[in-house]
A and B are shown apart, each in its own frame.
Chain A
Amino acid sequence: DQQVKQNSPSLSVQEGRISILNCDYTNSMFDYFLWYKKYPAEGPTFLISISSIKDKNEDGRFTVFLNKSAKHLSLHIVPSQPGDSAVYFCAASALYAGNMLTFGGGTRLMVKP
Chain B
Amino acid sequence: KAGVTQTPRYLIKTRGQQVTLSCSPISGHRSVSWYQQTPGQGLQFLFEYFSETQRNKGNFPGRFSGRQFSNSRSEMNVSTLELGDSALYLCASSPTGTGRGNTIYFGEGSWLTVV
B-contacting residues of A (Cβ < 8 Å)?
Answer: 32, 34, 36, 41-46, 49, 51, 89, 91, 93-95, 97-106
B→A interface (CB under 8 Å): 4, 31, 33, 35, 42-45, 48, 50, 55-56, 58, 90, 92, 94, 96-102, 104-109, 111
Residues of B within 8 A of A49 (CB): 100-102
24 A-B residue pairs with CB within 8 Å:
A32-B99, A41-B108, A42-B108, A43-B90, A46-B102, A51-B100, A93-B99, A94-B99, A95-B98, A98-B31, A98-B50, A98-B98, A99-B33, A99-B92, A99-B97, A100-B33, A100-B56, A100-B99, A101-B35, A101-B43, A101-B92, A103-B42, A103-B43, A106-B43
CB distance A46 to B48 under 8 Å? no
Are the CB atoms of B44 and A98 closer together than 8 Å? Answer: no
Give which listed residue, B50, B94, B97, B106, contacts A43 with CB less than 8 A. Answer: B106
